[in-house]
Each structure stands twice: as structure tokens, then as C-alpha cells.
Amino acid sequence: MSVPGRPADPRPRSGSRDPHGLERYYVLTGGRSGPGGAAASLDVATLVVSRTAPAPGMQYEHEEILRRCRAPLSVAELGAHLQLPFNIVAVLLSDLLDAGRIEVRDPIPAHRAGRGPDLALLQEVLDGLEGI
């Protein structure tokens, strides 16, 4: 019940379900708040690629990640598609990485790492933007 002059309580009442709330995240991650192991170094630009197809009985979100990552997709893009925050996606990716179902890649190819940006390409982009 609302009291005049005081905003309504935004928390759901007991017994109601908020499909986008903290309870859902807790269930999705089994209570974990962040990834462990090899997935601890994930960032939003890390590319994810499926190594296997979804298996019967898998958690829906795991299946969806495997389907969407047939071609490389960044962690940020996955989060947007799944409508989940980064840390939740990272925990789900950790599960799949530990099971050998995905591989993760640095967005900058190893042969270019440390060389810096391609200045010619950046100049072309700038020239194109100035022409708009």
C-alpha cells in the first residue's frame, strides 16, 4: 500500500516473480558471482566461438550461446542478445569453456598484438567520416 508523499516500494511482493531480477541471475549461475579459471580474463571484447552443438538437456542459456556463437561473437554482443549483464554471461561462458564446448579468442590477432593500430585504415575511416 502506498503512503501519500512516499514512493511505492519497487521490490516485488513475496510470492511474485521478477524474471529479470536477482533471483533469476542466482539460479542461472548457481549462486556464483563471477567466472573462475581460464574465464577470469574475459572482457567485453573477447570473441567466443562454439566448438560443439548444444546437447539435449542443457541449460537454455548455454544452448543459446552455442547457437549464436557458430561464428565469432563478442562477450558484449552475447550479453545484448541474451539480455544479461557481463558478469552473468562470463559465468555461463566459464561453464562452457571448462566443458570444452567453446573457445575464446583475443579480438586482436596474435600476429598483430603489440604492433598498434593500422594507421592507414584509421585514416581511411576518418576520411570517410569527414565526407559524410
Predicted model pTM: 0.62
The verdict on residue 116 lying in a domain is: no
Does residue 97 carry a pLDDT above 70? yes
The verdict on residue 4 lying in a domain is: no
The verdict on residue 126 lying in a domain is: no
Distance CA 71, CA 94 (A): 18
Distance CA 97, CA 88 (A): 14
Here the cell at position 115 is 604492433
Sequence letter at residue 96 = L
Residues belonging to the chain = 132
Q: Which domain holds residue 64?
A: 22-109
Distance CA 22, CA 11 (A): 11
Inter-CA distances, 129 with 38, 113, 121, 125, Å? 39, 26, 12, 6
Distance CA 120, CA 113 (A): 17
pLDDT in tens, 45-85: 889 999 999 999 999 899 999 999 999 999 999 999 989 88
Distance CA 27, CA 39 (A): 19
Number of domains in the chain: 1
Does residue 38 carry a pLDDT above 70? no
Inter-CA distances, 22 with 3, 58, 87, 90, 122, Å? 26, 21, 12, 16, 42
